[in-house]
Amino acid sequence: MFAWWRRWRRQAIRRAPFPREWRGIIEKNVPYVAQLSPADREELMGHVQVFLSEKRFEGCGGLQITDEVRVTIAAQACVLLLHRPSDDYPELSSILVYPTTYLVPGSHTGPGGLVSEDSQARLGESWTRGEVVLVWDSVLSGAADIHDGHNVVLHEFAHQLDQEDGVGDGAPILPRRSMYVAWARVLGHEFDHLVRDVERHHRTLLDRYGATNPAEFFAVATETFFEKPSQLRLKHPDLYAQLRTFYQQDPVMRLAAPPGPSR
């Protein structure tokens, strides 16, 4: 009964007119959306409406949550949901937003096993217990340059997709069990290749942070897939193909097609 009611409620939300002010925020802050076809833009707007109706935003470090903050984040997060059977980030309940880089306590073990306390600067985090943390100035800068391969919202919400099965390991829930073999082979190979390139100080298309672990590799690959798709398809065609199948989108073809009119 609850699932039926939720579907009915979401359909009603998607049918509601999209606020003109929200559309203006997206046009100003999220230029990537202008590349989408009219049908994809309308699908995205529906996801944004559902996202904003269900997720709670909390300002941290003195940041005030406004419609600009909420809509700018939601529009980018919902790009990852286009064309996919999705439950709109079912495990996510809250988005915490800091104005700028924040510090979290940490520790590291030095020579002789000596443990030292320190603080680590963060631009974002994704937690399996239902929260994403973002930095507002990084949200804006990541959205403004759609070709630099760096987007903190895409990165952290790729982690959310990865964590929907309860663990962040670089293997999100795939449509069919048979797909995991190719996914593990391709992404495992590409991850190992990135690790070797980083160790040898080679230049890489994928951000070096992707060599941290398979979960970070998937998040970094997602950023590159949407923001540097032509380069990714050229240099890493098998990885591009896996991400194209998972996300049910082909950014290279999108770039080749003329944008449709806004509605």
pLDDT digits (tens, 9 = 90+) for 204-232: 999 999 999 999 999 999 999 999 999 99
Cβ contacts of 23 within 8 Å, gap of 6 or more = 45
Q: What is the pLDDT of residue 125?
A: 78
Q: Is the pLDDT of residue 105 over 70?
A: no
CA-based nearest residue to 207, from 238, 172, 232, 244: 232
Q: What is the pLDDT of residue 136?
A: 97
Q: Is the pLDDT of residue 240 over 60?
A: yes
Angle at 35 between CA 247 and CA 215, to 5 degrees: 30
- 0.85 cut: is pTM over it? yes
Report the chain's mean pLDDT, rounded to a whole number: 90
Residue 260: band (very low, low, confident or very high) from pLDDT cuts 50, 70, 90 = low
Q: Which two tokens stand for residue 96?
A: 């915490």
Domains of the chain, with CATH numbers?
Answer: 2-256 (3.40.390.10)
Angle at 144 between CA 84 and CA 249, to 5 degrees: 20
Q: What is the pLDDT of residue 206?
A: 98
pLDDT digits (tens, 9 = 90+) for 126-177: 876 789 999 999 999 999 999 999 999 999 999 999 999 989 999 999 989 9
